[in-house]
Structure formats: structure tokens, C-alpha cells
Copies of this chain bind each other. A is one copy, B any other.
């Protein structure tokens, strides 16, 4: 057994069976003051002056009891919270996106928001919205995998949500939308391939679920670019396994493609290797382009060409959220936050 569970071993188990959690009333009692005074002292309320000895007594009492204020009670009283709800992704996405989400979480934290990840599987958009609304978040930032319909937005707004922001999808009614231009990724890839003389372009469409929201618009973008010059685009379903790549590579001659956009670097690497193993010359017979500019793509031979995506920064999105919450005018309007450009290496 390479893993173990340890019970608390300090001999204090059940020393205090269901001991009550101390409240400000307990602190007040111990310090011999009123609850109001406790609140004043602990919140450093400047409008009220409390004598130093009293402050000291209160603080000591709080310390002794291990008193910690109750956030829910506080925000109930205050009438608002600083909770930002992030609908959880159904499936782990790529490294770029994970990094983005992590950045976002930290940036929000720095702005003193509490981030709640909330998964809502098998709920339709409106039921999901109702579930989210129960938490009375001040903002909802949907990262696109979860659809936010106009009706859902209405439910949220009516429950007091100040800002509904969707990122990664096309704008949906009533939300502030941060549209990550996925079609552009496919478009610049295709344009690059066309510019280097290719005319029959395969576009990998991952079979793994949860990726359609990225892959479909990328495919569409490639189609746009190809349509403009009479080039052909062929969708290529591909699972992230060596078998699937091998099968696709075996069909390569009959497909008659002279280029392929691999959705991202990982799928592109997988396919490129399969093509090479099947005797297809890269980039001679077929050019290959990935996306994300992963370091690993530079390790293969030929080095993988890629579309570098400059993802919007978590900090900027956090600023947008904060602005929307405060009702401040759009803090990022007009700025280009997502840019994609081809980095040509050796595979194209």
C-alpha cells in the first residue's frame, strides 16, 4: 500500500463533543460588554470611539474563544456579498485555459472576491441559473462551456446579480460578453497554409466531448478563409489516441490533403507522428499546423508550426468583473485582448 489515511493522532478526539462555535455574543459575555461593542472593536469602526482598555478586553476575549466572524451572517445583514460564481467546466480543458482560470481566480481574490466553483450537471440553463441564484453571488462569470440563455440571465439579474459575464462564446443576450475569437484561430491557420501554396486543408475536430465549443468555431474560421480563395476544407474527426491517429493516417492517400490544421498542438503532434509513421512526408507532402505554441511542439522533428494565442489575462477579466459590479463604465472596451498569429517553424 503506497498510501495511507491517518486519523488525528493527538489524543484529542472528541475532547469537546459538538462544542458550540463561539459567536460575538460569547465574546461580549466574556468581555463584559455588549455585542455592539464587540462589533465596533473587531471591525475597527472609526465612527465610534471605544476606550483602549475595553478594546483590549474584547480582543483578548475573542482570542481566547477563538472567535471568527460568520461571513454568511455578515453578508445577510449587509445585504450583499462579494462572491463571484464560476460555473465549473464539465471536462478539463487545455493547459492554456487552466492557466487562465487559475489567473482569474487569483486576480478576483486580490480584488477581495470569493470565488465559488459551481458545477451544474444535467441541469438545463434556467435550473442552473436558479441554483446559482440561491447563492446570491454578486457576479457570474461563465467560461463558456455552460450556456447562459437570456432567460437564465434574467433569473440571475432578478436575484441581485450585478454582472453576468460570458467569456469564450458568442454574446448571449443581456450579458457583458468577452468574446474570445476562436474562428480567428482557424482562419489564420488556414490563411497561412493557403499562403504557402496549400489548397486541400484538413481540420482536426477532436472527438473528445466538451471541446466542440472551441473546435467548431475554429473549423468555421478555416472554412471562411478557404472559401475566400476557393480552397477546400475537410473536417477530420480524431480521438486523442494513437489508434485513432493511425487510422486517420492510413486513410491519408485517399483523402488527398496537402495540409492539416491540427486543432491544437497536442492533436497536431499526435497526427504528425502518425503521418510520418505512415510514410507521409511532412511538410513536403502535407503541412501541419497546431495551436497554443506548446514547448513540446518544438521537440518533434520537424518542429511544429503553430498558432500562438495570446489569451486574455485573468487580471484583465477580473478588472472587467469588478467594473461591471461597480457599475463603472466598461473598463476594457476596444482593447484587443485576444490575438492569434501563426508561428512558422518547420512543419509547414
Contact = CB atoms under 8 A, between A and B. Distances in A.
B330 A69 contact: no
A203 to B, nearest CB: 19
A27 to B, nearest CB: 13
Contacts of A72: 72, 75-76, 81, 135-136
Given A109-B119, A118-B109, A240-B295, A3 B68 contact: no
Q: Which of A19, A121, A177 has the most CB of B within 10 A?
A: A177
Contact of A296 (B71, B171, B269): B269
Contact of A178 (B5, B332, B339): B5
B134 A68 contact: yes
Contacts of A320: 5
B240 A5 contact: no
A8 interface: yes
Contacts of A125: none
Interface string A325-340: 0000010111111111
Contact of A158 (B10, B21, B336): B21
Interface in A156-182: 158-160, 171, 173-181
Contacts of A121: 106, 109-110
A173 B134 contact: no
Nearest to A70: B136
A296 B296 contact: yes
A116 to B, nearest CB: 5
A102 B114 contact: no
Contact of A106 (B88, B116, B177): B88
Interface in A114-167: 114-121, 130, 133-136, 150, 154-155, 158-160
A142 B110 CA distance: 20
B270 A299 contact: yes
A184 interface: yes
A155 B65 CA distance: 10
Interface in A1-24: 1-10, 12, 19, 21-22
Given A174-B8, A179-B3, A134 B70 contact: yes
- 9 smallest beta-carbon distances between A and B, as pairs: A109-B119, A2-B181, A72-B72, A66-B158, A68-B133, A71-B134, A273-B299, A6-B171, A21-B160
Given A66-B154, A270-B299, 11 more contacts: A3-B179, A3-B180, A3-B337, A5-B334, A68-B155, A88-B102, A109-B119, A110-B121, A114-B135, A117-B117, A266-B296
Interface of A: 1-10, 12, 19, 21-22, 66, 68-73, 75-76, 81, 86, 88-92, 95, 98-99, 102, 105-106, 109-110, 114-121, 130, 133-136, 150, 154-155, 158-160, 171, 173-181, 184, 240-242, 266, 269-270, 273, 295-296, 298-300, 312, 320, 330, 332-340
